[in-house]
Amino acid sequence: MTQTINNNQNGNINSKADISAIEAAEEIKLNDLAPEQQLELEKLKLDLDMASDADKEADEVTKTPPRRLVIVDGGKGGVGKSMWTRGFLQTCIDEKRRIVAVDADNSNPDLLRYYGENGEHCQIQQLNIFKDGSIDRFFDQIKRMMEPEPDTYNQLPPPESLFLLELPPQSRQIFKRFIEQEFLETAANDYDIRVTMVVVISRVSDSVKQLIDLYSFCGNKVDYIVVRNLFYGEESEFSRYSNSSIVQEIKQELLKAGIPLFDITMPNLLEYAYDYLDEKSLSFSEGIKQKELPGVKMRVKSWLKTFKQQICPVKHLLGLESINVEIF
């Protein structure tokens, strides 16, 4: 302790002093120190606090979230895949979570229509999944975005870690062949990226068949989220899904593998509000901010809040650390 005082008097303390020295110095009553010693001690504490804050800021900059590819599927068209995809993309934007979304439905590119190509926290790319080799190039592009190279100004772009792909109708066989070529194994082992399959279903038996077929070639190599679209009825009315013995077997198999299948719902947006967004090509955020129709504003805000509440329990499977349901 005496040595610490002498060091202070000699002016030898610098910002690299260890914590034990600081703790020892703090045990001395300031009244027992000369004014110049008090000043030096306060300066030392300030320097260390500033260094600690700088380290925290550096950690935040260099921290890369876990890599996740979210694939939205539903088999045939009309089950609500695009609606769920838009809701999830809006949630990522609201949370300021960087995301690369891929619009693979060239006949009806909803993501591009509602959100454009580039936003503050998202970029949207097109993919013709029916063109031979296109899905392979998509995977190669993901790798380049996860491990970017310096640009022409020798600046390193921020690495991407969250990707979103909505499969268009009638693309199941193409996707199946790609999975059978060990895409999932390569993604996990070589690039440390985990895939989440989001399966949007209606009340018809075909939705159940599509889920069973998907599991037949994806198995326990992906995470699963089943979304009951309440546009088609109340949650309790999805009896073909709830009462399917095969679905129950799949859930048990996944549970044994430590990969529980999660069930959530997607709220129904009043047709009047949905049509207004569709006619104006407005994102959910724009639908909330518009002042032309207060009824639409209220309905869209309520829908988005409920949507976020539903995906909150599975946010870890969607590449999100947190979800604030009050942010719009």
Q: What is the pLDDT of residues 85-113, one digit of tens each?
A: 999 999 999 999 999 999 887 778 889 99
**Contact assessment for residue 225 and residue 317, using Cβ atoms and an 8 Å cutoff:** yes
207-232: pLDDT as tens digits? 999 999 999 999 999 999 999 999 99
Residue 118's DSSP bridge partners are 123
**Is the pLDDT confidence value at 57 over 50?**
no
pLDDT band at 10 (very low <50, low <70, confident <90, very high): very low
How do the domains of the chain map onto residue ranges? 2-61, 68-317
At a CB cut-off of 8 Å and minimum separation 6, what does 20 contact? none
What distance in Å separates the CA atoms of residue 6 and residue 28, rounded to the nearest whole number?
Answer: 13
What distance in Å separates the CA atoms of residue 38 and residue 69, rounded to the nearest whole number?
Answer: 55
- In the prediction, which pLDDT does 263 show? 98
Other residues' Cβ atoms within 10 Å of the Cβ of residue 287: 25
Of 68-72, 92-96, 180-184, 247-251, minimum mean pLDDT range: 180-184
- In the prediction, which pLDDT does 46 show? 57
Q: What rounded mean pLDDT belongs to the chain?
A: 85
Pairing type for strands 122-126 and 67-73 reads: unpaired
| DSSP secondary structure letter of residue 1 | -
pLDDT band at 15 (very low <50, low <70, confident <90, very high): very low
- In the prediction, which pLDDT does 246 show? 98
Prediction pTM value: 0.80
Closest by CA to 139, choosing from 151, 125, 119, is 125
Closest by CA to 318, choosing from 187, 223, 184, 218, is 223
Whether domain 68-317 has CATH 3.40.50.300: the reply is: yes
What distance in Å separates the CA atoms of residue 276 and residue 272, rounded to the nearest whole number?
Answer: 6
E strand or H helix that includes residue 171: none
Question: In angstroms, how far is CA 309 from the centroid of its own chain?
Answer: 15
**Contact assessment for residue 202 and residue 232, using Cβ atoms and an 8 Å cutoff:** yes
